[in-house]
């Protein structure tokens, strides 16, 4: 009995020491609840990059270990999960959170100085959250809102002879969605076609007949719809039943094949959508990533997959640079090194993944990470800009109409 106890203690000590040597990265995302698909989409990509780093020798011989913090897609649970990751698990950095729970984690991140790179949070709350610890590899909703307004009010981006003149906005009253409201209103106003009406609706209702009647009373020629895919389909179908003949403009969350399947091609035909688009230079790398991920997980890359690829690569390279230059990987050194590996600068070498970045850093060179979503150059608040594709459903599939360059959104 005593032998078993000693053996058990030895095993536990070994495990504890091994854990102590690892560099912990927290995945602060919803893994359960309505938005569990976000965690399910992000986690395998993050794990794939962590595995690549570990197989190439880790960060100074230390493995990256991913630790999950389940935000359940809410502010309260998000705060609890962030506290666990930061104070109990002692993670060095966070991947996440989403817009849904950012407000619950913001102060904790600021106070503890743990850097975060979110591959999912478009919330405008992050636009100017801080200059040291907040980064994201997904464009702000401010930019997405401007892109929708720019395209809707300028016929050249719609692939049709006339721009829309009577836009109405329907937006779900949830933190992730309502973040679009003000940018859209301001952008439509600044492009010379103010919204006829802005209608907020309660998310998750079984039907939206009254809300649709209200929207249609303004005689819109386009309805900009910001909501979850299932609510969007309910609204579109209610409008179809009410005889609406106009067009729809949806956000990134709906601009995918799953949405057409959910809505049916008949209902989805003709709607416009918005999608972050890979720069022409990164198109081949995007294809390579999709194949690599398929081989790794047996699955296709889902929404936020490319953003996660960039977030994890930037984080791993920042850790490596911290190890090489500062001799230690801490929250402070990682936070300082994120810009050093991602932003452009004189004499820097462009790298596109961890392996090429590692090679350059170990050769004593400075690097500028070029991502799948774009160049991943952070502004002073850790935001990125990216071009957008304006897409339209034709014959039951999304087709590219035009590309809106980032310069068109200034």
Partner 1 sequence: MTALLQTLIFGLATGAVISLSAVGLSLSYGVTRFINFSYGEFLTLGAYLTVLGVAFGLSLPLAIVLGMLAVGVAGVVLARIFFDPLMDRGFLALLVTSVGLAFVLQNLVRMVAGSNPIRFPLPLMRPWHVGALFVPKVPVLEVAVALLAMIVVHLLLTFTRIGKMMRATSDNPALARASGISTARVLAATWFLSSAIGGLGGVLLAMTQIAVQPVMGWSFLLVVFAAVLLGGIGNPYGAMLGSLVVGLGIELGTTYISPDYGHAFAFVILVLVLLLRPRGILRGAF
Window of 97-105, 122-130, 205-213, 380-388 that interacts with partner 1 by CB under 8 A: 205-213
Q: What sign results for the dihedral spanned by CA atoms 194, 196, 201, 207?
A: negative
Which of 136, 150, 196, 234 binds partner 1 (CB under 8 A)? It is: 234
Using CB under 8 A as the binding rule, whether residue 233 contacts partner 1 is answered as yes
The structure tokens listed for 72 are 């359940």
Q: What sign results for the dihedral spanned by CA atoms 311, 369, 357, 367?
A: negative
Using CB under 8 A as the binding rule, whether residue 177 contacts partner 1 is answered as no
- The packing angle between helices 331-342 and 305-321, to 10°, is 110
Using CB under 8 A as the binding rule, whether residue 396 contacts partner 1 is answered as no
Which of 134, 208, 249, 354 binds partner 1 (CB under 8 A)? It is: 208
Our separate counts of H helices and E strands in the chain read 15, 14
Q: How far is the CB of 210 from partner 1 (least distance, A)?
A: 4
Is 135 exposed, middle or buried (CB count within 10 Å of its CB: 0-12, 13-18, 19+)? buried
List, as one string, the DSSP characters of 262-331. Answer: HH-HHHHTT-EEEEE---GGGHHHHHHHHHHHHHHHSS---TTHHHHHHHHHHHHHHHHHIIIIISS--H
* Integer CA distances (angstroms), 104 to 72, 80, 131, 175, in order: 12, 9, 18, 12
Positions in 90-149 near partner 1 (CB under 8 A): none
Window of 30-38, 97-105, 134-142, 311-319 that interacts with partner 1 by CB under 8 A: 30-38
Backbone angles phi, psi at 18, to 5 degrees: -60, -45
Window of 14-22, 139-147, 236-244, 305-313 that interacts with partner 1 by CB under 8 A: 236-244
Query: In terms of CB distance, is 262 or 349 closer to partner 1?
Result: 262
Using CB under 8 A as the binding rule, whether residue 206 contacts partner 1 is answered as yes
Q: How far is the CB of 207 from partner 1 (least distance, A)?
A: 6
The structure tokens listed for 335 are 């936070």
Q: How far is the CB of 229 from partner 1 (least distance, A)?
A: 7
Annotate each residue in 254-293 with x if it binds partner 1 (CB under 8 A) or - if it does not, as one string: ----x--xxxx-xx--------------------------
Using CB under 8 A as the binding rule, whether residue 204 contacts partner 1 is answered as yes
CA distance 250 to 267: 13
Window of 49-57, 115-123, 225-233, 324-332 that interacts with partner 1 by CB under 8 A: 225-233
Name the pairing type of β-strands 247-250 and 222-226. parallel
Using CB under 8 A as the binding rule, whether residue 237 contacts partner 1 is answered as yes
Query: In terms of CB distance, is 184 or 263 closer to partner 1?
Result: 263
Window of 19-27, 45-53, 133-141, 200-208 that interacts with partner 1 by CB under 8 A: 200-208
Give the DSSP H/E element, type plus range, for residue 240: helix 229-241
253 neighbors 228 (Cβ within 8 angstroms): yes
Window of 20-28, 158-166, 197-205, 293-301 that interacts with partner 1 by CB under 8 A: 197-205
Binding site for partner 1 (CB under 8 A): 34, 36-37, 173, 201-202, 204-211, 213-214, 229-230, 233-234, 237, 240-243, 258, 261-264, 266-267
């Amino acid at each position: 009995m005593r032998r078993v106890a000693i053996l058990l203690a030895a095993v536990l000590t070994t495990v504890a020491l091994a854990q102590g040597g690892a560099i912990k990265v927290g995945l602060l995302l919803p893994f359960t609840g309505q938005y569990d698909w976000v965690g399910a989409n992000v986690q395998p990509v993050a794990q794939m990059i962590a595995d690549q780093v570990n197989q190439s020798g880790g960060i100074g011989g230390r493995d990256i270990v991913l630790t999950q913090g389940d935000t359940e897609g809410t502010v309260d649970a998000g705060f609890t999960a962030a506290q666990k990751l930061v104070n109990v698990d002692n993670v060095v950095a966070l991947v996440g959170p989403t817009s849904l729970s950012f407000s619950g984690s913001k102060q904790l991140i600021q106070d503890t100085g743990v850097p975060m790179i979110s591959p999912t949070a478009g919330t405008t709350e992050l636009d100017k959250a801080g200059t040291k610890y907040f980064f994201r590899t997904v464009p702000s909703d401010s930019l997405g809102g401007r892109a929708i307004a720019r395209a809707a009010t300028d016929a050249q981006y719609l692939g049709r002879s006339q721009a829309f003149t009577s836009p109405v906005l329907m937006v779900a009253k949830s933190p992730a969605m309502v973040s679009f409201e003000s940018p859209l209103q301001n952008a439509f106003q600044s492009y010379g076609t103010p919204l006829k009406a802005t209608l907020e609706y309660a998310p998750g209702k079984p039907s939206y007949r009254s809300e649709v009647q209200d929207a249609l009373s303004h005689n819109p020629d386009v309805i900009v719809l910001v909501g979850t895919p299932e609510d969007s389909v309910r609204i579109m179908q209610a409008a179809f039943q009410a005889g609406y003949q106009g067009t729809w403009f949806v956000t990134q969350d709906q601009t995918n094949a799953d949405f057409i399947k959910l809505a049916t091609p008949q209902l989805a035909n003709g709607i416009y959508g918005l999608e972050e688009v890979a720069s022409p230079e990164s198109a081949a790398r995007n294809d390579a990533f999709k194949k690599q991920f398929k081989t790794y997980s047996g699955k296709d890359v889902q929404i936020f997959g490319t953003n996660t690829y960039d977030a994890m690569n930037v984080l791993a390279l920042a850790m490596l640079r911290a190890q090489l230059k500062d001799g230690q990987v801490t929250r402070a050194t990682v936070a300082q090194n994120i810009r050093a590996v991602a932003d452009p600068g004189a004499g820097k070498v462009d790298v596109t993944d961890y392996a090429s970045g590692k090679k350059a850093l170990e050769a004593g060179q400075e690097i500028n990470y070029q991502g799948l979503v774009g160049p991943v150059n952070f502004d002073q608040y850790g935001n990125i800009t990216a071009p957008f594709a304006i897409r339209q459903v034709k014959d039951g599939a999304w087709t590219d109409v035009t590309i809106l360059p980032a310069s068109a959104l200034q």
